[in-house]
Structure formats: structure tokens, C-alpha cells
Amino acid sequence: MSPGDHYRQIIELSEDCILELDATGRIASVNRHGLDLLQAFERSDVLHRAWQDFWPPALHPVVHQALRRGLEGQSSQYTGTLTTLRGAQRQWSVSIAPLSDAAGRVESLVVVGRDITEMRRVEQALRTLNASLSSQLQGAESQVMAASQHNQYLEATLTQAQVISERRRHLELAALQQRDIAEAARAMAEHTAMQAQKGEAVGQLVAGIAHDFNNMLQTAVAAISMVTDAPETLTPIQRKLLGRGNEALGHATAVAKRLLGFARQHPVRAEPMDLQEVALEMAELMQQSLAPDLQLVVERQSQPFPVIADRHSVGQAVMNLCINARDACGGTGRITLRCDQGQVSQDWATHLRAAGDYVTLSVADTGSGMDQAAMSRLFEPYFTTKPEGRGTGLGLAQVYALMRQAGGFIDVDSAVGVGTVMTLWFPRAHVSLGEAEVPPALPAASGSDLSA
């Protein structure tokens, strides 16, 4: 089987709708599952149709912009309500990317569409359930006072009560043990304090190591400078080798300074930044800890990705996601970082996900993946799937807090044995970051590839 046949077979087996559009936005090919999702009997039912015709007129500007960006060599995402050939209204999430020839000219577009109708229904059901439970709890709320050991009072909100007798016009509560409440509160406070102390101790340790490491590097830099100040005593080969050594020391010094900044506590300060620039900086720092058989790839784009957020917090978030991806891969595989443009339509918007233009940063790995049970608790503080002693369970909780603070949200897609993709959605900042330039290539350590 040729490589082309192999990839065509993979596309046919995909459960997503995968289309190829020509330069006019018409469907040139579609996989079998795509026919099912579009409710078509034969490929001839959809071939040569305009992709825009599957969407309501209100969404045509969004679709047109995505197609235009694709023809300009850029990828994009959007969500909305698609109308199938049988008239059914379905919620779809769509990604569009260019397909180029050997010379780099865009020949056509690839569209990957996913039906998210059921996921949206589950989200709505959960919102309705949460609202109903909140209403019921508020209606049934009562106050219980329990005497403490020091004649003080502990206040608890009543959420459950057992009716002992209908003839008696009151509720008899199950025993509420003050000691249990006090001990549970104390244990939780001690655990939280211990975790905070551990985090602070680790930060101080990292800062101390980086500081000592930086001092040693400066000594080495000074020694090389003293030698190179007398070039007449050096052969050309010696000068070349010393130059390379000086460059390596400069790179190591930059890493040490970033490590110092990463470990130091910073006040939150929102500012305009290029999200891709921060991702590249963290990838350079991350590559130092990769196993030889684990590849780190940053798919760099030519345009900037402006957001407004705390730069240090964003760097920590990217580092947390990369560390989780590294640990999930177990020393082999691939981690991919990519920035992109995204859009949330009114149809997809919720109280946690505002409609508008977004900038996305995805961290994808080929690691062990997660089941639904783990994903349901993913952002709980102190929850971790790592072995004891390997994780605090605070990393993703911090990422979640950052995204809420920045007005964004997180998408997680994971499958056991396949891998995980975590995508951070930041509201796009309409500010100028200067000329759009491709960031300079970063030197890659063994097991890394930052030149994609």
C-alpha cells in the first residue's frame, strides 16, 4: 500500500467529516462518515456543492472569512448550526486549513467537521440541572447552630433533612457532630497550607539553583572573554571553538534568567503580548527536561497572536500543560504546540464562553490519554492522575483560574491510548504588536524539534 493509499484509508475511517474544497469553496471530495453526518446517500449528492450553502445566512460572513483565510495560507476554526441535506439542524465545530503544492501555493482547503450536538445538549442539561439544584437548595435553606468547645458557634447550611413524622410539624435532623466539622475544617486547612508551603519551597529551591547556576555561568563567560581579549595568541580554530562556547554560555545564561523569572512570584499584570512568542519561550525552557525519544514541535505561524493577559501566568500555564504532556508520553512520542485563530458564534456561546474572536494555543501529545472519569475531575485542586510524589494536582487548577481571569476558556479532547489535546482560548486583543515576523529559530536539544 502506497503512503497516499494509507492516508486515504485513514481519512475514510475517521469519524469526523473530512472534506476537500476547491478554490471556489465547493466540495471536491468527502469521506464516508462525512456523507453520513451530512445525511447524503451518495457522494454525488454533495460534490460540487458550495460549503457555504450548508450554513444559515447569518453565518455566511464567518464561513466566508474562514475560506478566505484558508486561501491565504492560514487555518481557522468556527462553530455553528449546520443544515443537513435532509433539513436537520445540527451543531458543528469546524476547522479549515490550506493544502499546498510543492511550491507552497495553496491548491485547495481541507475541512474537518465534528457534530457536537449531543455535547451541547449535555451542557445545556447540566446548566439546567445546576440551576434547578441551586433553586431547590435556596428554597430549603435553614440554619443549624452547633456549640463549639469554646462556647462559640459553627454555622452550617442545611441541605438534607429527614422527616420523622408527618404529624409532627418540624424536621428532626440527623446528628450534626461539631467535632467532625471542626476536625474536617482543620484537616482541610492543614492540607491546603502544606500544599502551599510545598509550592513555595519548590519555587525557592528552583530560584536558588538558577541563581547559583547563573553565577557559575558568568564566571565561565568572564574566563572566555579574558582569553579572547588576546586574539593574537589564538589559532583560528581556537577562536572558532571559543566563539561557539561563548554562544552556548549565552544561551545557558538566558535559560537561567528565564528560570529565575519563572520561579519568582509576580503580581498579576495584564498586558498586550504575542501568545506565540510566550509559547516559544516556554518551549525552549521545556526542552531541557525532555527524554531523547520525546519530540517537541512548535508549529510556528507568520502572524502575531495578540492577547491581553499576565505574561508570567501565561508562561506558567504553558509550562504546566507541557509538563503534563511530557509525563503522559512517558519518555517517547511527540508534543505539539500551535497557535491559531478561533471564533465562537452566538450558537456556541454560553455564560462561560462568550461569543467573539479568539486566539488559541493548543498543546497536543501522543501519550496515554484520559478516560471520562479523569476528565470530569481534571480541574479540581489537588486531583492528579500521576503517581504519588510526581504531581501536586494544582497545575491545571491554576491554568483554569488564569483562563477565567483572562476571559477565556479551555477545551480538552482526550482518548485512552491515543493522547490529549488541551486548547486555551484567549479573547483576541485588537492591539498592534508591531510587524508580524516569524520568531527566530530556537536551538533544539536532543529529542526536540522546534523548527517545524
pTM, entire model: 0.45
Sequential DSSP letters for 348-411 = T-BTTB-SEEEEEEEEEE-S----HHHHHTTTSTT---SPTTT--S-HHHHHHHHHHHHT-EEE
The enclosing H or E element of 99 equals strand 89-100
CATH 3.30.1330.40 fits 270-427, yes or no: no
Domain 3-120: give its CATH code: 3.30.450.20
CB-count exposure of residue 188 (10 Å: 0-12, 13-18, 19+):
exposed
Tabulate helix, strand, coil % of the chain (nearest 5): 45, 25, 35
Question: Could you tell me where the DSSP H helices lie in 105-235?
Answer: 117-139, 178-228
433: Cβ contacts below 8 Å, ≥ 6 apart: 272, 273, 274, 304, 306
pLDDT at 432: 75
Q: Residue type at 232? A: E
Q: Are strands 270-274 and 27-30 parallel, antiparallel or unpaired?
A: unpaired
Measured between alpha carbons, how far is 303 from 274 in angstroms, rounded to an integer?
Answer: 10
The enclosing H or E element of 280 equals helix 275-286
Angle (CA) 128-134-140 rounded to 5° is 135
pLDDT at 113: 93
Q: Please provide residue 174's backbone torsions phi and psi, each rounded to the nearest 5 degrees.
A: -65, 155
Give, rounded to a whole angstrom, the gap between the first and last alpha carbons of the chain: 27
pLDDT at 441: 37
Mean pLDDT per 10-residue interval, the chain, length 452 residues: 66 86 94 90 90 93 93 92 90 92 90 89 74 58 41 41 41 46 57 54 59 70 75 80 79 64 58 93 83 90 91 88 90 92 85 86 92 78 62 71 85 89 93 52 39 42
Measured between alpha carbons, how far is 199 from 40 in angstroms, rounded to an integer?
Answer: 56
Three-state secondary structure readout of 262-276: HHCCCCCCEEEEEHH
Q: Residue type at 318? A: V
Measured between alpha carbons, how far is 73 from 296 in angstroms, rounded to an integer?
Answer: 23
pLDDT at 273: 93
User: Cα dihedral angle (72, 75, 81, 83), rounded to 10 degrees?
Assistant: 60
Q: Where are the domains of the chain?
A: 3-120, 191-258, 270-427
Measured between alpha carbons, how far is 344 from 354 in angstroms, rounded to an integer?
Answer: 7
Q: Are 316 and 424 in contact (CB under 8 A)?
A: no
- The x, y and z cell numbers of residue 89, run together, are 439542524
